Structure 1
Amino acid sequence: MSTRIRIALVVNLFSLIFSTTIVDSNQSTVPLRSFKISENVTYDCIDIYKQPGLNHPLLKTHKIQMKSSISRPELKMQTGKNETSNKKKLECPNGTVPILRNTKGFATNSQIFAEKNFHPLSADSPGMHIAGVRSNGLFRGVQAWFSANALNVGNDQISYSQIYIGSGSGNQVNYISAGWMINPSLYGDQRVWTFGFWKGKNGKGCYNTACSGFVQVSKVIPIVEPSVLKPGVPGWLRYSIHQDKNTGNWWITQLKENAPNEDIGYWPKELFNLLDNGANMVGAGGVVHASPSGSSPPMGNGLLPNGDPQDSGVFTNIEVLNSNYEQHKMDYFPIESLVDSVKCYGLRIGSQKRFRHLGFFFNYGGLGGNECGA
């Protein structure tokens, strides 16, 4: 299979993220407490056993798993890098979890976004571009540190970066991703938001907690959260997606620096039909969606890689779990570079000899523009 065809397949896989209709969770449970982060962002502390994620029809008999059985190593480093989080501290009472309040406006924007603005794209359609790496095999998880950056993204454009796992069979795809995103048409602002996404059985899926499926466990870190970043000053995400040894559920964990890691929550195994024994693909990278006019937004921090890991968007310490839950740097396995628009975006695998402390890493990104092609 040619590189062009493989890139087209990955582009189609990425496009599935935004082809799912998103609905209001209509949470009827009275919150024990609420946190108003900003004018249009409120979190309700909902009883963990009554959270909207459990309303999914495939989870009628699901029993909540409170903690992952996989322990992720604590980060013992002095980097001085800021997490992408709000200054206001969220901490729900014991027995409750923070759920972003889905206003009518958010639900409406979600519908427009999913159904009209960004429909599924074919390999020959303009609109989406990627720059990243992936590995094929059998994996139980992927983790990375990656920068989040304030960008000038149009109201009809999207720019995001993510780690992901997936499996495909015929025309079926199971997929999980997590990272950061700037999406004014969905969120109504230019802020950087964390996100999580899944697609499972029968092509069904969900984005964050806008509909049922994801089980929130952490009382302090929600799956979706805005950040306020200044231009030119990156924040950092340190995420892990991994399959639980005992239950088969797929967890997202925020790896903390010099502090215990935080299991945010998980996507139950019942949601999937192709991920029971791991995923056959893992990857990381940046993705953009152009406006209908064809103008593509910036990716990463808006600059092309030039050899210095601090000068453009970067993924560092990218590691994967193999089928036996053994952890390795991603390049322990064969890796494939994916860049489909070299006019606008670039990818550069870093030198681990020169920057050993970064593990396996790559720089990516670019300014975008009107000449990015299909």
Structure 2
Amino acid sequence: MQSGLDHPLLKNHTIQMKPSVSRTESKSQIGINRVQKQIIPCPDGTIPVWRNTKEYITKAQDLADKHVHPLSDDSPGTHIAGVRSHNGLNRGVEAWFNVFQLDIAKDHASYSSIYIGSGSNNEINFISAGWMINPSLFGDGRTWTYGFWKGKDGKGCYNTACSGFVHVSQTIPIVQPIDFPAGNTVWLHYSIHQDKNTGNWWLTEVGSGDIGYWPKELFNLLNNGANMVGAGGTVQASDSGSSPPMGNGQFPNANRPERSAIFANIEVLDSNYKQHKMNYVPTEVILDSPKCYGLTIGKKFFLRPNKLGFYFNYGGLGGNSCGV
């Protein structure tokens, strides 16, 4: 059963089983370990969907209304470190980014993602995907993959906590706790792109498979691409003002980029579906709390002979003096 189609905006939607152009193959392999997802043997005609409890759905809906992103106007207690571009319309964004375990308090959240979005007056359409540690949402301190969207009705939703996202993969869930093999760094390689023929927005784990898509009917500002694309880390402080760590909890070191969190091979699709390094047009650095978090644009390659294209390091320990 495809519960994603229960959304009232999707009454006349025709399901798309695969994107018009696959993005599961990548020219930017950097020889590293991907997220270790469980292979779920779903029978034909079924998909892996995380079992949603009533408590999880309630929390997800409440937190979705408060979800912060770079298009948010006023976000007390939230801090962002990332890079974005809002020069013209874009059809997608893709990146490698490493995944970490962090000690996060119950009233904290820390997440890293790629995203696309458009804003007009007081309206926002937004899609993001990546990894998150959020005890208030998931009920534990583990690291989870996640997807999020905010559409034309002003409402947002995480994962499959409500209808909207159409899950098509039989093996890759949109949301799942991440395993961390001893001694290995774990990476995600995600792509969000607009289908050329249908206008739907697809989420792909590049190199592994297409997970599913957010139908175009959910949005009113993303019909012809997105006017902003980006990547980075975000944290949510507690009511007391204490902010959690971001990335791997370390400030970037320009001389030792492998020691901090990183987004690598960040690429965007332009309005004509041509793929470029993200900095082919002017980019903007977002860093609102330099006391607690840092960001360094990559200026050299490391892990030779593997090149990391356009990349940046980000993160920090957080603390009690990060501002509002």
TM over 0.5: same fold? yes
Tell me the CA shift for residue 234 of structure 1: 3.2
Which residue of structure 2 lines up, in the alignment, with residue 358 of structure 1?
A: 308
Which residue of structure 1 lines up, in the alignment, with residue 140 of structure 2?
A: 189
Secondary structure of residue in 2 paired with 1:229 = coil
Which residue of structure 1 lines up, in the alignment, with residue 277 of structure 2?
A: 329
**286 and 295 in structure 1: CA distance in 2 versus 1, 3 angstrom threshold:** same
Which residue of structure 1 lines up, in the alignment, with residue 243 of structure 2?
A: 296
Tell me the CA shift for residue 114 of structure 1: 4.9
Moved over 3 A (4+): 75-80, 111-115, 118-126, 230-234, 352-356
The yes-or-no answer on 1:91 pairing with 2:41 is: yes
Which of 230, 236, 257 is the aligned partner of 1:309? 257
Which of 248, 252, 257 is the aligned partner of 2:203? 252
- 1:44-64 CA distances to partner (integer Å, 9 max, x unpaired)? xxxxxx321100011111111
- 1:224-267 CA distances to partner (integer Å, 9 max, x unpaired)? 111133798531100000000000000001012xxxx4110000
8 A contact 1:352–1:360 mirrored in 2: no
Which residue of structure 1 lines up, in the alignment, with residue 3 of structure 2?
A: 52
For the aligned residues, what is the CA RMSD? 2.2
Which residue of structure 2 lines up, in the alignment, with residue 3 of structure 1?
A: none
Tell me the CA shift for residue 81 of structure 1: 2.7
8 A contact 1:138–1:280 mirrored in 2: yes
AA at the equivalent of 1:132: G
The yes-or-no answer on 1:74 pairing with 2:22 is: no
Secondary structure of residue in 2 paired with 1:219 = coil
**185 and 271 in structure 1: CA distance in 2 versus 1, 3 angstrom threshold:** same
Tell me the CA shift for residue 185 of structure 1: 1.0
Which residue of structure 2 lines up, in the alignment, with residue 199 of structure 1?
A: 150
CA distance in 2 between counterparts of 1:169 and 1:231 reads 46
Which of 76, 82, 106 is the aligned partner of 1:126? 76
AA at the equivalent of 2:102: L
Tell me the CA shift for residue 353 of structure 1: 5.8
CA distance in 2 between counterparts of 1:69 and 1:157 reads 39
Tell me the CA shift for residue 109 of structure 1: 3.4
Bigger shift: residues 313-322 or 229-238: 229-238
Which residue of structure 2 lines up, in the alignment, with residue 276 of structure 1?
A: 223
AA at the equivalent of 2:189: R
8 A contact 1:195–1:207 mirrored in 2: yes
- Structure 1 unaligned residues grouped into runs of 5+: 1-49
Which residue of structure 2 lines up, in the alignment, with residue 42 of structure 1?
A: none
Bigger shift: residues 73-82 or 99-108: 73-82
TM-score (norm 1): 0.80
Give the number of equivalent residue pairs. Answer: 318
Give the number of the structure whose residues are more often helix, by fraction. 1
TM-score (norm 2): 0.92
